[in-house]
Each structure stands twice: as structure tokens, then as C-alpha cells.
Amino acid sequence: MYSGKVRDLYAADDHPDRILVVASDRISAYDWVLPTEIPGKGEVLTRLSSWWFEQLGDIVDNHVLSTDDVPRFVRGRAMLCRRLDMVPVECVARGYLAGSGWADYRATGAVCGVELPTGLRDGSRLAHPVFTPATKAAVGDHDQNITLADVVDVVGRDLAHRLRDLTLAVYGRAELVARQRGVILADTKLEFGVNPDGQLVLADEVLTPDSSRFWPAESWEPGGPQPSFDKQYVRDWLTSPDSGWDKDSGLPPPALPADVVAHTQQRYLDAYRRLTGESLALPGA
């Protein structure tokens, strides 16, 4: 049905109300799908999402029906899910200043129209988490930060406020769970859909290194980029002299060398182990 940067969606035979969501080992950065895969990454994303859906079940329902009733050759990286009417907004919650949020703050003193105190630094913890939505861009395009008023224009006032409140509730629970495990959840991007009963349902993936910034709590220090358990390692290599790539050139990025693949895979595994308390063996790890 659809192939995204990382996930592929398939229609389920004889079940028009169901879809099969398969997480690939693809990795994206700077709006490009890279030519090199990270072995086992799709399994980490699926298992970690499933774990988080369970942690959040009392806050919001999710779209997962089964991770077992799927074709054998994609088992471990696929979920059979309810088909939803997806909300055309990326719902982002930030508890720390980083990435595009830091860039917006430096330029305007605000993020997505939310005014923030002066004197914050890259990596600063915010006094209260903020809802900073974005457009849902097509593959190859860049999500653009928008305001709550923009979301109201797209989906209406009631749904926009429900999205904000649920996003912040999910972030609040996840941030606490992660912090108890020595991990800082700096920010996260969520996607919601609406089921036939009009209920908001958490969909896609949730709280993985692809959609969230995870930092080791023991080394957090505002004032610059933080060590991370996400794909920041890939971004840093791509923008380093070693890659020989100019992200503003319009040319596709190069293949990742073996050591960058190995280090990235290890970061995903470290995030999974720290958060769930379980180890996961992947090819070549």
C-alpha cells in the first residue's frame, strides 16, 4: 500500500480493516533514505514500540492487534494493526531543547509559537514539556514546525487540543519511565489516527531511536550536542569531512562505512537494553 522512509504497509488479505506494518532496516537522515541498512534495526524498532505501547496502555489505546499473527519471514519486525484515519500532523513533545527546537529558539526565542525563557542553551531542560507540532512531509521532503493554531486550522479546535493533551501525557509518562532507567527522553514524535468510533489512537511506531532523542542521563550537560542512543551518530558522520558529502548539494549521501553501521546498531541495542532491561541479539552485533 505504501513505502515510507523505514516502514512498508501492506493490505491484510480478506481484512479491509487491518494493515500489516513492516519495519525495514533502512535508515534515513536529512530527508534522505541512505543506501546502507543497519542490520536488525527493524526488529529493534518493532520490539521497542511494542514494549512502549504496553507501558502507555492506560493513557491511550494503540493500533496493534498482534505481533505473532504475521507472515513468518517478517516476524519480529512486523505488526498486524487496525486501519485508522490518520491525523495529518506530526505530534512532537519536547522536554529539552535540541535539534530544530534549538534552531528555532536561537532565531526567535520560541518553538512553534511557544515563547521560552531567555538564557537557555543547547540541551537545556525546559521548565515544562511543550507541544511543538510539525507538518507530515512526504518521503524526501522536510517536516516543518508549525503552531497549535496551525493544527487547529487543519483538524479543528477540539481535535487539536486532544492531540496536544495526549502527546504531552504520553511524553510525561515516557520521560519518567526513561529517567528511572538512566535515560533522558529529550523529545519525541508521535502519530495518531482516529478509529471508526472517533477515538484517538496511537499509531505507527512509538518512542524509538528513530522518532525520539535518547540521551544517557549520566553525561547530560547543557551547552552543546549530547551523546545519544539514536541516529545522531549517522547524522554526525554524514556532516563530517570523513563522508565527503555536502548536505546542501542536492546530491544523495554516500554509503555508510562498516564502523558507522556497527556503532549505530550498537546505539539502538543500548537504547533497547537500557529501557526494557532485556538484551537483544542482532546480526553481526
The CATH number given to whatever domain includes residue 93 is: 3.30.470.20
CB 215 within 8 A of CB 205: no
Cα–Cα distance for residue pair 170/160, rounded to 1 Å: 15
In a domain, 209, yes or no: yes
pLDDT tens digit string along 193-217?
999 999 999 999 999 999 999 999 9
| pLDDT the model gives residue 87 | 96
In which domain, by residue range, is 125 found?
A: 85-219
Sorted by sequence, the CB contacts under 8 Å of residue 264 that are 6+ apart come out as 27, 38, 231, 233, 234, 256
Residue 16 reports pLDDT greater than 80 = yes
pLDDT in tens, 272-285: 999 999 998 876 65
Mean of pLDDT values over 217-233: 92
Q: What is the pLDDT of residue 138?
A: 58
- Region 28-51: mean pLDDT is 95
Average pLDDT value for residue range 98-115? 95
285 vs 188 pLDDT, higher one = 188
Q: How far apart are CA 41 and CA 56, in angstroms?
A: 22
If you average pLDDT over residues 103-130, what whole number do you get?
A: 96
Q: What is the mean pLDDT of residues 49-54?
A: 97
Average pLDDT over residues 172-192: 97
In a domain? residue 277? no
Residue 92: inside a domain: yes
Predicted confidence (pLDDT) at residue 133 exceeds the cutoff of 80:
yes
CA distances from 44 to 81, 96, 186, 200 (A): 18, 24, 20, 26
Averaged pLDDT, 147-165: 97
pLDDT tens digit string along 242-269? 999 999 999 999 999 999 999 999 999 9
Q: What is the pLDDT of residues 55-76, one digit of tens each?
A: 999 999 999 999 999 999 999 9
What is the distance between the alpha carbons of residues 52 and 24, in angstroms, rounded to a whole number? 19
Nearest CA among 65, 82, 86 for reference residue 18: 82
In a domain, 164, yes or no: yes
Per-residue pLDDT, 31: 87
Q: How high is the mean pLDDT of the chain?
A: 94
In a domain? residue 114: yes
* DSSP assignment string, the chain: -EE-SSEEEEEETTEEEEEEEEE-S--EETTEE-SS--TTHHHHHHHHHHHHHHHTTTT--BSEEESSSS-GGGTTSEEEEE--EE-SEEEEEEEE--HHHHHHHHHHSEETTEE--TT--TTPEEEEEEE--EE-PPTTS---B--HHHHHHHH-HHHHHHHHHHHHHHHHHHHHHHHHTTEEEEEEEEEEEE-TTS-EEEES--S-TTTEEEEEGGG--SSSPPP-SSTHHHHHHHTSTTT---TTSSSPPPPPPHHHHHHHHHHHHHHHHHHHS-----TT-
pLDDT at 148 exceeding the cut of 60: yes
Residues sharing a CB contact under 8 Å with residue 88, sequence separation 6 or more, in sequence order = 136, 154, 155
The three three-digit cell numbers of residue 208, written as one number: 524509538
pLDDT of residue 232: 86
Q: Give a yes or no: residue 102 inside a domain.
A: yes
Compute CA 197 distance to the chain's CA centroid, rounded to the nearest angstrom: 26
At residue 144 the predicted structure's pLDDT band, cuts being 50, 70 and 90, is: confident
Q: Which pLDDT score, from 0 to 100, does residue 106 have? A: 96
Q: Is residue 228 part of a domain?
A: no
Confirm whether 137 is domain-assigned. Answer: yes
Average pLDDT over residues 11-37: 92
Percent of the chain with pLDDT over 70: 97
Whether the CB-CB separation of 66 and 79 falls below 8 Å is answered with yes
Question: Total structural domains in the chain?
Answer: 1
- Round to whole Å and give the CA distance between 56 and 176: 12
